[in-house]
Every structure is written in C-alpha cells, then in structure tokens.
Chains A and B, each alone.
Chain A
C-alpha cells in the first residue's frame, strides 16, 4: 500500500480501481474483510457462475462426483467380467424367484425397480407441493417416498440373504466367476447405502417441513435439493439394473 502512495501514477491507478470496485460493490482493500472471509471474497470476486442457489449448485456438483464413483464401480465390474476366463453366472437364473413351482427370472429385481421408480414419482409430487407452499402434503409425499425407499432396502436385504445362503461370497461362489460376488456386493451395497442415507435425509427434511422451519423464509427449495439426491439414487439404479442384472 505505502508503495502506491509513493508513486503518484500507481496511486492514481489504485484510486481508479477502488472507484471501479465501488461500482461493483466489492469490498475495497481498505475495508476488505480479513481472514477466511477475505479469502472467499477475493476468490469469488462477487461473481457467481451458476444462477441457482448455492445449495442446488452444490448438490449437483456432489452428484457429479458421485456419478464418477458409481461409474468407476461399474467400469471395474465390466473389466473383471470381460477379463474373466471362467463363465459369468447367469443373472437371470441367479436372481430368479421360485413362486408356486414356476421359476420367474429377475422378479424381485423388477419389483425393486418399480418401487424405486414409484418413489421417484412421489418425490416429484412432494417437490411440487413444496413449491405450492403446501407443506403438509409435501411432507406426506416425502414420508411416502422414504417408506418406499425403505421397502427397497428391505427387499435388497432379502436378496443379499438369499444369495449368501446360496453360498455367494465376495471371493467366490458356486455358480461361476469369483468376481461376481465382489462386484455384486460392492455395487448393490454402495447403492443400498445411498438409499438408506436418502431415507434419513428425506425424513429429516420432512420433519422440518412439518415443524414449520421453512415458513419464516418461505424458501422451500430444500425439498427440491433433497429430491435431486433421491432422483439420483433412482438414476443410478437404472444403470445398475441394465448393466448388472440384464447384461
């Protein structure tokens, strides 16, 4: 600073810069915040790239990173499956249910898919109600969504139990390539974890809705942000269903 006062030319320049800063409404050097606030103010320069609320932008960026995590799992699965010299277990057989003596291929997985899609539908309704400021209906839809999510996790637990009883382990199984177990438990386990976290997240927001926490600001976007997470869980299942169960 002192150097700029000594040099009349640079002093003039900094005055101009300060004036320009004032126009933008940026904190000028003299009154600039120090510490972490200063760091954030300097780096953001009072500009935002995405014209959405920070919560929504951050959720999208988190989901982008999560996309990479799941994609790495699925790519790893593709690699071990293609690279395995031992035949891969036939998913259509492994995941079939025996009802009344007839073998129905992939029945449980199909029901799980429909349950998750339905939960996505109810979530979309919840977001819609929230934006109409109908908080009781919005919370009801979210609790319904969480219930369907929990049903999904329950069916997954059943499926895991069935496979473990049939001798499927992460290091081997009686049906074929050993990598089947590790891929299955890792991919569906990580997805099930996401569903479980989603259920907790949705219930938390629903309880807050009912308590009128968002009445004060009138900002119900949290419901849409929670919905983004939930739809993403459904989206991941679409890929798992196609690539793991149908392939």
Chain B
C-alpha cells in the first residue's frame, strides 16, 4: 500500500487559474470533429436499424443486425460521448463490469419464460 501517495489532483498548468481549489483531474477536451463524426455514425447506424424493420428482415438476420447495431451505438455513446474511453481503467471496470451480472438474470428469466409458456399452454388453452 502506497501510504505516501499524493492526493492532490493533477493541475493543468495552462488551464488552471491561480486559486483553484478543485482542478479538473480529468480534463476531457477533445476536438469537436470527433463528436461530429460519432454523431453522424449514430445517425447512420440508427437509419440502418430502422431499415432492418422497414425491409422486414426475419429470423437470425434480423436478430443479429438489431443486436449488433444496438451494441455498436451503445459502445460509441459510452466511449466517446460519455468519455469512458479516456477515463482511468479503475472507473471503467467499476462501472462497466457489474452490468454483466444482468446476463445471468436474463438467462434465468429466459428459462422462466419458457416454463411460463409451457404452463400457459397446458392450462389456458
């Protein structure tokens, strides 16, 4: 355990005024062009997922496309718009790993749903 570690936030010499009690530890300054690119990408991806419905794709193709487009869009928003790509790994892990537990919930509830469908078929027909 590093007891002598400094807890002072890293000051940005150019930006920080003289008396700044809380400097921006993580100064998230990125070129506007990057945001515009992500914005356009999100537009294109949303249009693509809309077209999946418009052209009435079915089965595995529909599913694969919907899930893939959804995850790419979510990834872009979290990584660039929410700046997670530039945050420290400790924060990224603390926020992004716990939701993986939800996969267990989804798996359990999928089994439960099949059971429900079975009993509905048996008793409510």
How far does the Cβ of B109 sit from chain A's closest Cβ, in whole Å? 5
Within 8 Å CB of B88, what residues of A? 50-52
Q: How many A-B pairs fall under 8 Å by CB?
A: 180
CA distance in complex: A81, B36 (Å):
38
Query: Is A60 interfacial (CB 8 A cutoff)?
Result: yes
Cβ of B69 and Cβ of A242 under 8 Å apart?
yes
The B interface is mostly helix, strand or loop, or mixed, namely helix
B95 contact set on A, CB distance < 8 A = 60-61, 63-64
A228-240 interface bits toward B, Cβ cutoff 8 Å, 1 = contact, 0 = none: 1001101100110
B85 to chain A, nearest CB (A): 13
Q: Chain A nearest CB: distance from B111 CB in Å?
A: 10
Interface string of A217-247 (1 = CB under 8 A from B): 1111100100110011011001101110111
Q: Is the CB of A246 within 8 A of B66?
A: yes
Q: Could you say which interface size class chain A belongs to?
A: 35 or more
> What's the minimum C-beta distance from B54 to chain A, rounded to whole angstroms?
6
Q: How far is the CA of A72 from the CA of B108 in the complex (A)?
A: 12
Whether B78 lies near A121 (C-beta < 8 A) is: no
Q: List 8 A-B contacts (CB under 8 A).
A: A48-B7, A83-B113, A84-B116, A120-B81, A121-B36, A128-B32, A219-B24, A238-B74
Give residues in B with beta carbon < 8 Å to A.
3-4, 7, 9, 16-17, 20-30, 32, 35-36, 38-39, 42-43, 46, 49-50, 52-54, 56, 62, 66-67, 69-70, 73-74, 77-78, 80-83, 87-88, 90-91, 94-95, 98-99, 102, 105-106, 109-110, 112-117, 120-121, 124-125
